[in-house]
Amino acid sequence: MWEISQLGAFPILSNAGWILFAPLPERTLVALSALARLNPDRLARIQTPSGWVRNRSTLPYCFRCLVLNPLDVAAPRWKRIWLDPDIEVCEEHGTTLERIPAQITRRARNMDRLLMLVSKHHRQLLQISSRRLY
């Protein structure tokens, strides 16, 4: 779609892949908003701030928030605030955010695959912590 729509050069992604997408030029935002039938300002507001786009070893997330979207339980979402490199606590639950290695998010080609990989990583962490209890 990027090439067909003539959106210009594809942005260079961080080591976390598409989940940490660099801000787009205004021309590209206008073209994408026309395709999506959205106001360009609305699309601009959901972009990742440029200061947040950098290589990282891990990305934070709250597993409960990820899998239990209160607005639509059938549509898990990755919260924009989790892309902030300085965030450490879930604003909803007050718990320390879990972290997933950036190479795992990079391997995910879409949100469904990302959810599967995050769930697998979460299960592995639970197994490790349960072994420590015994």
Predicted pLDDT at 54: 93
Model confidence at 3, pLDDT cuts 50, 70, 90, reads: confident
pLDDT in tens, 55-106: 999 999 999 999 887 777 777 889 999 999 999 999 999 999 999 999 999 9
Q: Measured in whole angstroms, how far is the alpha carbon of residue 26 from the centre of its chain?
A: 22
CB 93 within 8 A of CB 62: yes
Predicted pLDDT at 83: 95
pLDDT in tens, 23-66: 999 989 999 999 899 999 998 998 999 999 999 999 999 999 99
Apex CA 126: angle with CA 122 and CA 130, to 5°? 175
Task: Give residue limits of the domains in the chain.
Answer: 17-51, 56-133
| Alpha-carbon torsion (59, 62, 64, 70), positive or negative | negative
